[in-house]
Amino acid sequence: ELKVEQNPLFLSMQEGKNYTIYCNYSTTSDRLYWYRQDPGKSLESLFVLLSNGAVKQEGRLMASLDTKARLSTLHITAAVHDLSATYFCAVGPIIQGAQKLVFGQGTRLTINP
Amino acid sequence: NAGVTQTPKFQVLKTGQSMTLQCAQDMNHNSMYWYRQDPGMGLRLIYYSASEGTTDKGEVPNGYNVSRLNKREFSLRLESAAPSQTSVYFCASSERSGRGVYEQYFGPGTRLTVT
C-alpha cells in the first residue's frame, strides 16, 4: 500500500527565512506533484516532477525529487507572507490513463511578518 | 473556459438522506476523480473514471456510488448519508500531456455536513 508522509505538518516561520518541507513515499511511483491550497479554496498545481534528480523552481519555491530515496523536498527561500498556505505532495500509479494519486497530510505554512 | 465546476457548493443533510454531487469539466479530459478532504488527512480518492464508460474504486469507496454520465460529467451519490461522510468533496479531471504528465485540475469543492 502506497503511503505518503509529509513533515513537518505545521510550520510557522518569519518572513525572510528559509525552510524545507519533506515528502516521503513508500513505493516506487510515477511523477510527483506539489499542490498549494489556501484556506477554504481548492488545490492549485505548483510543480510536477517527472524523474530522478528533477528540480523545478518558481519564484521563492523550489522542488526536487530523489526517486532512489523516495523523497521530494519543497524549499522556500526568503519567505514572504503571501506564501502562507497548506502544501500537499502527491504520487500514485498510472492506470489506464488515470493517475490514482495518494496525498500527503499537508503542511500548513504560516509566515509571520 | 470554466474548468471544473461542482454543484452544490454547500449542503446539509440529515442522517439517512440521499443526495448527488455533480461535477462537470469543459477541458475535454478523459479522466475524472472524486476526493474527500478531512482535517489533517489530506485528500483521499473515493472513485475515479479513467475514461467515459469506466469507473473504479479508490481508497475510500464505501458508502458512495458514481456515474460517468458522459465525457464531461461525473457524479457522486450518497445513498444513505452518515455523519462520517461530513467532509469537503473535490472533483478533478486530467488528461495525459505531451510530456507524459497527468496533471489534475480541481473543482471548487462541495462542503457537506451530515447531522
Alpha carbon A96 to its chain centroid, in Å, reads: 25
Q: Which domains does chain A have, with CATH numbers?
A: 4-112 (2.60.40.10)
pLDDT digits (tens, 9 = 90+) for B41-95: 789 999 999 999 999 999 999 999 999 989 999 999 999 999 999 999 999 999 9
From B50's Cα to the closest Cα of chain A, the distance in A is 5
pLDDT at B112 over 90: yes
Greater pLDDT, B102 or B7: B7
Q: How confident is the model at residue A53, as a pLDDT?
A: 82
pLDDT at A29 over 80: no
From A97's Cα to the closest Cα of chain B, the distance in A is 6
Q: How confident is the model at residue B1, as a pLDDT?
A: 72
Q: End-to-end distance of chain A based on CA atoms, in angstroms?
A: 41
C-beta atoms surrounding A106 within 10 Å: 23
- Whether A42 and chain B come into contact, CB under 8 Å, resolves to yes
- Whether A31 and chain B come into contact, CB under 8 Å, resolves to yes
Q: How far apart are CA A57 and CA A37, in angstroms?
A: 18
Q: Chain B residue with minimal CA distance to A93?
A: B102
